[in-house]
């Protein structure tokens, strides 16, 4: 039995939902328990616009464009990620013979986070830095594994939406899905964390990087050789491997049985070292 933590971002999940759920069901039936963590930003954007809440994005000084979570959009995140999408995934897994349990990070206080009080952004018109309130985005500070351990031991498949709880301010927070998956995988000391995307893995100069050690992954980020979206993944995955995760694999969600393919090393594997 090898514990797997699987994360699928919103686009990879929406385009390959049946493929991913089939693969999770196959892994569990082989005897490998799965904790599934899902994104869903595109679906949140769709429902935000339906509800008259215009999504807002900001650019960091390093050039990373990210969503700015207002109080109004946090409510949409909770409704869509923690409700509609989370339960749709649970239904899909139940249809495949599993016993899913849909959760957010506040359930069992699985994900505890701290709200960012202020953030530095670039003004897109002037190019100057400015400080704005942090909104309702948080950084995960701890993972409580008790509930997840009990569910896994009981033969259940946890399905976790990346919405955390800030105990200091007693509020929910939107947190990065890759960070949530990495923190959960490290805390559970999982055998493998599989991050499913819409590409085959890390591509450098058009070629797939098949293997990286933690130190090699960090060096690529420090040298600025990795794109803005992928660099954040590498940082989080490298940290998780350093903290006790067996290995991490960035893999393509569109492959037949993508979990099995990732376990065979088809993708970018990050290992200790």
CA–CA separation, 95 and 93 (whole Å): 5
**What is the arithmetic mean of pLDDT over 32-38?**
98
Q: Which residue has the higher pLDDT, 172 or 230?
A: 172
**What is the arithmetic mean of pLDDT over 257-267?**
97
Segment among 5-19, 131-145, 218-232 with least mean pLDDT: 218-232
Average pLDDT score, the chain: 93
Burial of 223 (0-12, 13-18, 19+ CB in 10 A): exposed
Segment among 197-201, 219-223, 250-254 with least mean pLDDT: 219-223
Label the pairing between strands 163-166 and 171-174: antiparallel
Instruction: Give the H/E segment covering residue 47.
Output: helix 41-50
> Buried (b) or exposed (e) across 241-251, using 16+ Cβ within 10 A?
beeebbbbbbb
pLDDT at 228: 72
The torsion angles phi and psi of 90, rounded to 5 degrees, stand at -60, -45
Which domains does the chain show, CATH number per domain? 4-271 (3.40.1160.10)
Provide the terminal-to-terminal Cα distance of the chain, rounded to the nearest Å: 24
Q: What is the pLDDT of residues 118-149, one digit of tens each?
A: 888 887 777 788 888 889 999 999 999 999 99
Residue 108 has pLDDT above 70, yes or no: yes
Instruction: Give the H/E segment covering residue 29.
Output: helix 17-30
Tokens of 49: 């616009």
pLDDT at 63: 66
């Amino acid at each position: 039995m090898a514990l797997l933590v699987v994360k699928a971002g919103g686009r990879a999940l929406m385009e390959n939902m049946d493929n991913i759920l089939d693969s999770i069901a196959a892994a569990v039936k082989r005897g490998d328990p799965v904790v599934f963590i899902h994104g869903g930003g595109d679906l949140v954007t769709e429902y935000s616009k339906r509800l008259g809440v215009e999504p807002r994005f900001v650019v960091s000084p390093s050039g990373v464009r990210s969503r700015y979570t207002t109080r109004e959009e946090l409510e949409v995140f909770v409704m869509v990620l923690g409700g509609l999408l989370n339960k749709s995934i649970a239904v899909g897994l139940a249809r495949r013979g599993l016993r899913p349990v849909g959760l957010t990070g506040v359930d069992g206080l699985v994900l505890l986070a701290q709200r960012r009080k202020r953030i530095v952004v670039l003004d897109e018109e002037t190019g100057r830095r400015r400080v704005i309130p942090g909104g309702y985005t948080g950084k995960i500070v701890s993972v409580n594994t008790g509930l997840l351990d009990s569910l896994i031991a009981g033969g259940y498949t946890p399905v976790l939406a990346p919405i955390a709880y800030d105990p200091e301010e007693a509020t929910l927070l939107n947190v990065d899905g890759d960070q949530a998956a990495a923190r959960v995988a490290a805390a559970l000391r999982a055998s493998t964390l599989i991050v499913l995307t819409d590409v085959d893995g890390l591509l450098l100069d058009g070629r797939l990087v098949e293997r990286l050690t933690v130190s090699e992954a960090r060096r690529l980020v420090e040298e600025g050789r990795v794109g803005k979206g992928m660099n954040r993944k590498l940082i989080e995955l490298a940290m998780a491997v350093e903290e006790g995760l067996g290995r991490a694999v960035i893999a393509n969600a569109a492959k037949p049985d993508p979990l099995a393919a990732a376990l065979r090393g088809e993708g970018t594997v990050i290992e200790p070292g």
